[in-house]
Amino acid sequence: MKTTLIRLINGQDRRQGRWVFAFLIALAIVVWLGLSTGQFLTAENLLNLVAQAMPLIITAIGMMLVVLVGGLDLSVGSVISFTTAVLALGAPGIVSIPGVFILAALIGLVNGIAVTRLNVHPIIATLSMSYIVLGITRILRPVSGGDVPQVVIDAVAGSFLGIPLPVFWGVLTILLAWKIIHGSRFGLHLFAIGGGIASGTEDAARNFGVADKRDTLLAYVGCSCFASLAGIFLAGRIVSGDPNVGLLFELDAITAVAIGGTQLSGGVGSLHGTIIGAVVMALLANGMNLANISPFVQTAIKGAILLLVVGLQSRKKMGL
């Protein structure tokens, strides 16, 4: 037991990354907030916290798919804004909800094709995609507003059997993500592809018969679809389309993934680590709000945390 714990904290459980550290941070923040403010441990605040953390958890899970294969998706923020803008166009939910997923999958497909087939660096491909998607979003909806389908609003605000719906969102997303990442051959292949890239033998997985290009492409499609899911959740919460709602989401998602022990060079990570990472981010935001810290300072603190976390991740390769 004791050796297992030490091994976990030292990150010797190599494929899962150092998630225990993040877990301890989360625990420490919970204890600190619980002791220092009376409001924190109320049911209302905790529920609020779940609803606040949910879009980031969903986006971070998607981001993790591409980070596992040594990539990065800087377009998820734009995809989130885009999703809310499309939903707010006023089309009935039965059309617009499948519609946003198809559009998000297409965005992911273009990212994936650019990266795997056309040899474009993931950062450049997804960055230019974020420009294109943001531009289209601002054409569709220059300022926030519009009519979000009632079904989307009900799916976020209501409750079922006395349990608020965001909790169900969380459980279902996590089950789906667990199936993809830890319960399928596709997930295993992502680890294999990324592990090869991180160790400098980029064709290692391919030599064992893994369709590395197809799986990498699917990781980008998955990432966009998860971002779109987060967008649907956000649209339900803010009850409108907003071209700026996804701003800087990609950075929060990357930070969450990195805090959760996923190596940004690929091949190492875990779903629970990513979820814990996103929860740490949400707890920090919640705590800083309760402590009345200015939103600008909060931004700076988030940046410093990102810097610290990735600064602790030593890599073999220098560069991007």
Partner 1 sequence: MAVLTNHPIYKRISRIPPAYFIFIGLLVLLWIARPHMLNVNIMGIFIRQVVPLGILVLGQLLVIRVNSIDLSGAGVLLLINFYISSGMFAGASLSFFIALSLATGLTVGLLNGYLVGKRRVSAVIATLAVNIVLVGIVQFLASGKPPGDVPSTFNEIYNTKVWLVPAPVVFWIVLTALMSIFLSRFVFGRNVVSVGANPVAARFSGVPVERTVILSHTIAGLMTALASLVQTASIAVGSVRVGHDLPILAVAATILGGVVFGRGEGGVWGPFFGVLSFALLFVVMTTFGIGEPGKLVAQGVIILAAAIFYGVRTAGSQS
Helix (H) or strand (E) holding 164: strand 163-164
Size of site (CB under 8 A) for partner 1: 50
Q: Please, which residue, 50 or 132, has the CB nearer to partner 1? A: 132
Which CB sits closer to partner 1, 35 or 308? 308
How many other C-beta atoms lie within 10 A of the C-beta of residue 95? 11
9 binds partner 1 (CB under 8 A): no
**3/234 Cα distance (integer angstroms):** 43
Question: Residue type at 287?
Answer: G
Stretch that binds partner 1, among 4-12, 25-33, 251-259, 282-290 (CB under 8 A): 251-259
Q: How far is the CB of 189 from partner 1 (least distance, A)?
A: 22
Q: What are phi and psi of 70, to 5 degrees?
A: 75, 15
Q: Identify which of 244, 83, 243, 240 has the alpha carbon closest to the alpha carbon of residue 147.
A: 240
**Pattern 44-83, binding to partner 1, x per CB under 8 A?**
----------------------------x-----------
Report the residue from 45, 47, 99, 138 that binds partner 1 according to the rule CB under 8 A.
Answer: 138
The pair of structure tokens assigned to 127 is 């960055």
Q: Judged by CB under 8 A, does residue 142 bind partner 1?
A: yes
Which residue from 69, 136, 198, 271 is in contact with partner 1, where contact means CB under 8 A? 136
| H-run or E-run covering 159 | strand 159-160
Long-range contacts of 283-291 (CB under 8 A, 24+ apart): 283/26, 283/29, 283/30, 283/33, 283/49, 284/29, 285/52, 286/33, 286/40, 286/45, 286/48, 286/49, 286/52, 287/29, 287/32, 287/33, 287/40, 290/33, 290/37, 290/39, 290/40, 291/37
Would you count residue 3 as binding partner 1 (CB under 8 A)? no
CA distance 134 to 137: 5
Footprint (CB under 8 A) of partner 1, residues 268-297: 294, 296-297
Q: Which stretch binds partner 1 (CB under 8 A): 55-63, 191-199, 269-277, 309-317?
A: 309-317
Interface pick for partner 1 out of 38, 92, 135, 145 (rule CB under 8 A): 135
Binding test (CB under 8 A) with partner 1, winner from 121, 159, 175, 202: 121
Residues forming contacts to partner 1 in the complex (CB under 8 A) are 72, 114, 118-121, 123-125, 127-139, 142, 251, 254, 258, 264-265, 294, 296-304, 306-307, 310-311, 313-320
